[in-house]
Amino acid sequence: MAQYSSTRCDGERVVAVEADSWDVYFPAPLSLSLVANTFAHNGMQRELGTLLDLHDGQVDAIAADLRLVAPDRRLDVTAIAHHSVPGRPTMHLHVHVYVSRTSVDPSTDERLPIARAELAAAATRAWQRYSARLRAEATEALGIGWDPLPEDPAESAADEVRVVGLPRALHVTGGGAGVCYGYFGPHEQIMAADHGVTTGVQPASG
């Protein structure tokens, strides 16, 4: 029997997470968190609500992407969207995805281990799709425009966008730092945003 670290309600869902689950951390592109903070600062509640809904609506697709690490087995995956980091005054959009360390073979009910390296690779691919979807949907819904980063050596007339993403769960704001451990407290975290892969998304500096 799995031992659960906690249960709680997330909207209308009752969420249970195994005590030893990985917390796969999906930071939104930093540019979109900055846009959200700009909307909030300027009282643009309709635009802010639209952007947050777009972000929060990514959780099912992210969970489905991570289940592909064990496509023929039952794998417990729970994704929860967050808008902030404890102790930080500004919004940092991100998603926690709790993934069980074992999956179940439906034909035998045998529990089989999930390889961390395979999950991390799947998370990188899923983060690339998550980031691309957010960019495209925010552009369509809000008319947000994008410019290349001036220091980007790959900049060309054909490249409309280079957004900045956070490469890890450590957020730096105003000289301070905070780590979001999610609703369930510290779990071993896997950072989904791996900028060692060329995706058109540039890592944050500093």
What predicted TM-score, i.e. pTM, was given to this entire model?
Answer: 0.75
Render pLDDT for 79-94 as a digit per residue (tens, 0 to 9): 889 898 877 788 889 9
Is 206 within the bounds of a domain?
Answer: no
Host domain of residue 146: 4-200
* Residue 205 belongs to a domain: no
Of the candidate ranges 55-59, 96-100, 194-198, the one whose mean pLDDT is the lowest: 194-198
Q: Which residues have a Cβ under 8 Å from the Cβ of 41 and sit 6 or more positions away?
A: none
What integer is the mean pLDDT of 94-121?
92
Distances (CA, A) of 157 to 138, 160, 202: 22, 7, 17
- In sequence order, the 6+-apart residues with CB closer than 8 A to the CB of 106 are 72, 73, 74
> What value does the mean pLDDT take over residues 155-159?
40
Percent of the chain beyond pLDDT 70? Answer: 68
42-51 pLDDT, tens digit each: 999 999 999 9
Domain count, the chain: 1
Residue with tokens 């992407």: 65
Q: Is the residue at 151 inside a domain?
A: yes
Looking at residue 140, its pLDDT comes to: 92
Q: What is the mean pLDDT of residues 10-31?
A: 76
CB 76 within 8 A of CB 100: yes
